[in-house]
Structure 1
Amino acid sequence: MLFDLFPSRTMTRYIAQMFAVRILAVLVMLVLVLQMLDLLSESGHILAAKGNGQMELLRYIGLRTPQLISRFTPYSVLLATIITLVTLNQNSEVVSMKAAGLSANQILAPLFLVAAFTSVFTFAFNERVVVRASGALKAWQDVGYGTTPPDSDIKTNVWMQDGPNILYARTVTGRGAAMTMGDVSWYRRDPGGMVTDIVHALRATFAHPGWRFDHPTGFNVQSTRAGPQGTDTVYATGVDPAQVIVRKTDADGESLARLTTSIAAIRAAGYRTSELDGKWYHKLSGPLSALLMPLLGAVAAFGLARSGKLFVRAVIGMMLGFAYFVVDNAALAMGNFGGYTPLLAAWSPFFLFLLIGETVLIRTEE
Structure 2
Amino acid sequence: MRHFTRYVSRMFLVRFAVVLFAVAGFALLFDMLDVSSKVLRRSDGVVMPLLRYMALRLPTLLTELLPIVTLVASLLTVVDLLRYRELVVMWNAGLSRRGLLLCLWPVCAVLLVGKFLIDDRAVPSTIPELRAMRVGDFKNMMQPGGEYRWVRSGEDAIRLPADAAAEGRLEDLLILDRDEDGLLLAQIQAARAEQMEDGLLLHEVVRRPVGAQPAEQLASLSWPIRIDLAKVALMSKMPRELRLAELVDVVRNQGFGIAPDEGHRTVLHSRIASSLGLCALALLPFALPRRFSRLGMSLPMFAKGLGLGFVYLIFNGVLLALGEVGLVQSELGAWLAPLGLILVVLLLAGIHERRAVSAAAEVRA
Q: TM-score range by the shorter chain?
A: 0.7 to 0.9
User: Per-residue deviation at 1:20?
Assistant: 0.9
Taking structure 2 as the reference length, the TM-score comes to 0.76
> 1:180 corresponds to which residue?
169
2:320 counterpart of 1:337? no
Taking structure 1 as the reference length, the TM-score comes to 0.76
Question: 1:82-231 maps to which residues of 2 (within 5 A)?
Answer: 82-141=75-134, 158-161=147-150, 167-168=160-161, 171-172=164-165, 179-182=168-171, 184=172, 186=174, 199=189, 201=191, 203-206=192-195, 211-214=200-203, 216=204, 229-231=218-220
- Change beyond 3 A, Cα 1:133–1:337: closer
Aligned equivalents of 2:318 and 2:262: distance in 1? 16
> 1:37 corresponds to which residue?
30
Listed one character per residue, the Cα deviations across residues 180-227 of structure 1 (whole Å, up to 9, x for unaligned) are 325x36499xxxxxxxx99553x423469985333x16699xxxxx99
Aligned equivalents of 1:239 and 1:264: distance in 2? 20
Residue correspondences, number = 331
1:308 alignment partner, SS class: helix
- Change beyond 3 A, Cα 1:36–1:344: same
Listed one character per residue, the Cα deviations across residues 215-256 of structure 1 (whole Å, up to 9, x for unaligned) are x16699xxxxx9962312549x79874884576231211110
- Change beyond 3 A, Cα 1:332–1:210: farther
Identity %: 24
- Change beyond 3 A, Cα 1:186–1:329: same
Aligned equivalents of 1:248 and 1:48: distance in 2? 28
> 1:78 corresponds to which residue?
71
User: Per-residue deviation at 1:99?
Assistant: 1.6
Listed one character per residue, the Cα deviations across residues 7-54 of structure 1 (whole Å, up to 9, x for unaligned) are 3x3222221111111111111111111111112222233233264643
Segments of structure 1 that go 5 or more residues without pairing to the other structure are 1-6, 147-153, 189-196, 221-225
What amino acid is aligned across from residue 213 of structure 1 in structure 2? L
User: Per-residue deviation at 1:133?
Assistant: 1.7
- Change beyond 3 A, Cα 1:139–1:211: farther
- Change beyond 3 A, Cα 1:52–1:218: farther
User: Per-residue deviation at 1:291?
Assistant: 1.2
Contact persistence 1:169–1:185 (CA under 8 A): no
2:255 counterpart of 1:274? no
Aligned equivalents of 1:337 and 1:265: distance in 2? 18
User: Per-residue deviation at 1:172?
Assistant: 3.0
Contact persistence 1:169–1:181 (CA under 8 A): no
> 1:248 corresponds to which residue?
236
User: Per-residue deviation at 1:173?
Assistant: 5.5
> 1:15 corresponds to which residue?
8
Question: 1:279-318 maps to which residues of 2 (within 5 A)?
Answer: 279-302=267-290, 304-306=292-294, 308-318=296-306
- Change beyond 3 A, Cα 1:260–1:205: farther
> 2:359 corresponds to which residue?
none
User: Per-residue deviation at 1:111?
Assistant: 2.5
- Change beyond 3 A, Cα 1:32–1:227: farther
Contact persistence 2:174–2:190 (CA under 8 A): yes
2:246 counterpart of 1:258? yes
Over aligned residue pairs, what C-alpha RMSD do you find?
3.8
Listed one character per residue, the Cα deviations across residues 324-361 of structure 1 (whole Å, up to 9, x for unaligned) are 11111111122123332111111111111111222233
- Change beyond 3 A, Cα 1:213–1:359: same
2:275 alignment partner, SS class: coil
Aligned equivalents of 2:198 and 2:22: distance in 1? 53
